[in-house]
């Protein structure tokens, strides 16, 4: 009996020693792998590095650096929203630098829904998304130009034809005959924004929430729909962008005038007066002057070729744990009606600092100043006609 017990004890000791050596060998196989995740513009903060088939993973810091314990046979899965995922076998590498390529299809699937971000396939409500990539290479000076025709069920127009006129947005038509039909505008989480004051160059995305399920979080304020505006943030190496463009506006077709036939008009007018027994309105000398000199084309006196110019300047990037985006925009519009125009200056500063892994501080500052010259809104209110204003 004693011999059998010693034999069992010996076998148990050898088995335990075998397991210990096996675990030690696996532990020895683990190595520290460091590296950097970046794209074409610079490091990517917050990228995910996960060992395939496990829950072990890390994220990159603001400089795109990471460090993870892995075995040579492990496969690292590197991913980030908007970029194609890459799988890399560790092998004997101790330093792995990865450059991710953008995946436009994946980027389009991520939308803002009022209480966070999610994938489009997981959203049950009606949401339309417009990203800056869809209009960044176009001469867009106003947000309504960026949104118009790019979101289903959304009608966008200027309130009137005057330079600098307000923006009228209707989501799925008119909901009230006498009430307000304007949607709620939320800019970077702040309710009650004004789209007409925004610089399109500052916008990263526009998400339009169109039904009750998507707008429930905002209550009655979102009954006409919600437009969520996300402005740009800095990332990667510092860069400066300058954009300048001009546009020309013309009235396509002029109405026929009597300027070239004013003499004939004067004769007809005198004939009319004669037929009803009244004295003629024009003398023969006046009629001869009309024929010789022609009349006044009042359309030429009122209308002109409209001209506008737009200057945009921005600086963005990241330094250590700080991200920044600074921009300025100057817009000058001359209307097709003489003595009408609009000037606007906007400034924006988006700063963000990562104090620790769980604490982040941000400061967004925005200012806009617009000046209107002889706005159409004053015409027809007893202060004079278009001719008087011109």
pLDDT at res. 148: 82
CATH of the domain at 220: 2.170.130.10
Whether residues 94 and 149 share a domain: the answer is no
Same domain, 159 and 224: yes
For residues 137 and 98, membership in a common domain is answered with no
Among the three residues 80, 103, 126, which one is the final residue of a domain in this structure? 103
Helix ranges restricted to H, the chain: 2-29, 104-108, 143-147, 212-215, 262-275, 284-293, 298-302, 386-389
Phi, psi of 180 (to 5 degrees): -80, 130
**Count of Cβ atoms closer than 10 Å to residue 190 Cβ:** 11
Residue 276's domain comprises: 259-296
Q: Is residue 335 domain-resident? A: no
- Closest by CA to 311, choosing from 333, 332, 329, is 329
Beta bridge partners of 171: 154
| 370 domain residue, yes or no | no
Alpha-carbon gap, residue 204 to 374, rounded angstroms:
33
Same domain, 196 and 117: yes
Same domain, 89 and 122: no
Looking at 62, 88, 103, which one is the last position of a domain? 103
Residue 375 in any domain: the answer is: no
* 332 token code pair: 């000058």
| Whole-number Å distance between alpha carbons of 322 and 61 | 11
Domain presence at residue 40: yes
Asked, for residue 31, whether it belongs to a domain, the answer is: yes
Provide the β-strand partners of residue 366: 348
- Residue 386's pLDDT is 55
Tens digit of pLDDT per residue, the chain (390 long)? 555 544 544 555 555 544 454 444 444 467 889 999 998 888 898 899 999 988 889 999 988 999 999 988 999 999 987 788 999 998 888 899 999 987 766 555 666 665 566 665 556 567 888 888 888 777 888 887 888 888 888 888 877 778 888 788 888 887 777 778 888 898 988 888 888 888 988 999 888 888 776 667 778 888 888 888 989 988 888 899 998 989 888 887 666 665 567 888 888 999 999 999 999 999 988 888 888 887 777 777 788 898 999 999 999 998 888 999 999 999 999 988 888 899 999 999 999 998 887 788 989 999 999 998 875 554 444 444 555 555
Q: Supply the pLDDT for residue 119.
A: 60
Handedness of CA 198, 200, 201, 205 (dihedral sign): positive
Query: How many domains does the chain contain in total?
Result: 3
Q: Are residues 142 and 125 in the same domain?
A: yes
CB count within 10 Å of CB 325 equals 22
Q: Note whether 199 and 172 are same-domain residues.
A: yes
Write the CA distances from 70 to 55, 97, 380, integer angstroms: 12, 15, 77
The confidence score (pLDDT) of residue 378 equals: 47
In a domain, 218, yes or no: yes
Report d(CA 309, CA 332) in Å as an integer: 5
Same-domain check for residues 10 and 25? yes
Residues 59 and 154 in one domain: no
Structure tokens at 156: 């966008």
Provide CB contacts within 8 A for 255, sequence distance 6+: 299
Q: Distance between CA 279 and CA 334 in Å, rounded?
A: 46
CA distance linking residue 241 with residue 234, whole number of Å: 12
For position 375, what pLDDT does the model report?
Answer: 56
Provide the phi-psi class of 231: left if phi over 0, else alpha when psi is between -120 and 50, else beta. Answer: beta
Q: Which sign does the torsion angle of CA 185, 186, 187, 193 carry? A: positive
- CA 144 – CA 147 distance, rounded (Å): 5
The total of other beta-carbon atoms located within 10 Å of residue 301's CB is: 12
Q: Which of 43, 71, 103 is the last residue of a domain?
A: 103
Whether residue 212 lies inside any domain: the answer is yes
Residue 348 is predicted with a pLDDT of 95
Dist CA 166 CA 41 (whole Å): 36
How far is the C-alpha of 164 from the C-alpha of 15, rounded, in Å? 84
For residue 66, being part of any structural domain is answered with yes
- Distance, in Å, from the CA atom of 161 to the CA atom of 377, rounded to the nearest integer, reads 9
- Work out whether the CA dihedral 184, 185, 190, 193 comes out positive or negative: negative
Element (H, E) at 32: strand 31-38
CATH number of the domain enclosing 17:
2.60.40.1120
pLDDT of residue 122: 57
Check whether residue 227 and residue 142 sit in a common domain. yes
Could you tell me if 51 and 142 lie in one domain?
Answer: no
Give residue 146's pLDDT: 83
**Are residues 29 and 87 both part of a single domain?**
yes
């Amino acid at each position: 009996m004693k011999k059998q017990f010693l034999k069992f004890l010996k076998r148990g000791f050898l088995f335990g020693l075998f397991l210990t050596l096996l675990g030690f060998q696996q532990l020895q196989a683990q190595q520290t792998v460091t590296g950097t995740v970046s794209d074409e513009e610079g490091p990517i903060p917050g990228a995910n590095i996960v060992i395939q088939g496990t829950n072990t993973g890390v994220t990159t810091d603001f400089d795109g650096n990471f460090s993870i314990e892995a075995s040579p046979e492990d496969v690292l899965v590197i991913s980030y929203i908007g970029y194609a995922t890459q799988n890399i076998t560790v092998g004997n590498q101790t330093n792995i630098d990865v450059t991710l390529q953008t995946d436009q299809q994946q980027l389009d699937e991520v939308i803002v829904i009022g209480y966070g971000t999610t994938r489009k396939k997981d959203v049950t409500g009606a949401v339309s998304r417009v990203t800056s990539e869809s209009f960044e290479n176009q001469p867009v000076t106003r947000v309504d130009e960026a949104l118009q025709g790019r979101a289903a069920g959304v009608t966008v127009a200027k309130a009137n034809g005057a330079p600098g006129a307000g923006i009228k947005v209707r989501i799925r038509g008119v909901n009230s005959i006498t009430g307000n039909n304007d949607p709620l505008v939320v800019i970077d989480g702040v309710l009650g924004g004004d789209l007409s004051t925004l610089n399109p160059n500052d916008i990263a995305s526009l998400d339009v929430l169109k039904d009750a399920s998507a707008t429930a979080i905002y209550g009655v304020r979102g009954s006409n729909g919600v437009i969520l505006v996300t402005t740009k943030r800095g990332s990667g190496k510092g860069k400066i962008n300058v954009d300048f463009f001009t546009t020309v506006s013309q009235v396509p077709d002029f109405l026929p005038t009597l300027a070239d036939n004013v003499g004939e008009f004067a004769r007809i007018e005198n004939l009319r007066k004669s037929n009803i027994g009244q004295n003629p309105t024009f003398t023969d000398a006046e009629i001869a002057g009309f024929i010789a000199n022609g009349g006044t084309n009042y359309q030429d006196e009122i209308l002109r070729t409209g001209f506008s110019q737009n200057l945009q300047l921005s600086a963005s990037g990241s330094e250590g744990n700080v991200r920044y985006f600074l921009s300025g925009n100057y817009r000058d519009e001359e209307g097709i009606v003489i003595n009408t125009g609009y000037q606007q200056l906007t400034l924006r500063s988006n700063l963000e600092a990562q104090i620790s892994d769980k604490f982040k501080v941000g400061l967004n500052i925005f200012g806009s100043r617009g000046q209107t010259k002889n706005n159409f809104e004053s015409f027809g209110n007893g202060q004079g006609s278009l001719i008087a204003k011109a």
